[in-house]
Amino acid sequence: MANLRKYIIPRAFRSEGGIRQTYGIIRHMLYSYGWLKTMKEKKCLNAKGEPIPWFTYPAIDFLAQFDYSDKEVFEYGSGYSTLFWSKRAKNVVAVESYKEWYEKIKQEVGSNVSMLLSSNDRHEYAEQIEKYGLFDIIVIDGIGESRVLCAELAKKHLRKGGMIILDNSDLWIKSAGVLRKESGLIQIDFTGFLPIISNASSTSIFISRDFDFKHLLDHQPHKSVGQPAAQWEEA
């Protein structure tokens, strides 16, 4: 048992300061970000019980800074991200291939959301966006075999100054390459932990140099929920 304790709790963490720092990490990760709540309920929620996307926490922190009240969103893959955007954006279009999940999310979203049911055929799925014009935000988080095609079409349907979000980008590197290629988009990788599961991942956000979304506050960045200190200077 003593050897097991030494393995689980390294010597550096067994001092008073180490214990305090370890407790802080656990408290912020499990409670401030709401990870324990997501694990318990198997839903993507923040500490307040509000829906969040199944993106990495650094990406969620970044996205939470902006005012989306005049923005239009297209999502490849629906879920708690659809509820997140529904509460913030002007309107949302989400395509889903899993019928039971489609029915569940459709019952929970607001009137500003249009849900599209598709088959798993990658062309039918990806080409749902062709029914529409341009969007300010395009999320690629749907069926894997469609992601390269989704990325190619997303570039065509992105409004000037908008963003494309590719989730699990560390695993879908070809799709990330498609979004960078001849697009003028800047890839920003947000790597870290995420709701429900215990491993880290990457969510990449692609923006152009004329990215112009308004902030909810008068400054950027906003404080993370895991940052307890007061700001050291005014905006």
183-193 pLDDT, tens per residue? 899 999 999 99
Return the closest-CA partner of residue 83 out of 40, 55, 50, 59.
50
CATH fold group of domain 57-207: Rossmann fold (3.40.50)
Q: Is this prediction's pTM over 0.85? A: yes
Q: Where are the domains of the chain?
A: 2-32, 57-207
pLDDT, one tens digit per residue, over 193-235 is 999 999 999 999 999 989 989 999 888 898 888 888 888 988 7
Of all helices (H) and strands (E), which one includes residue 187? strand 186-193
CA 162 distance to own-chain centroid: 16
- Own/partner pairs for 14-18, CB < 8 Å, 24+ apart? none
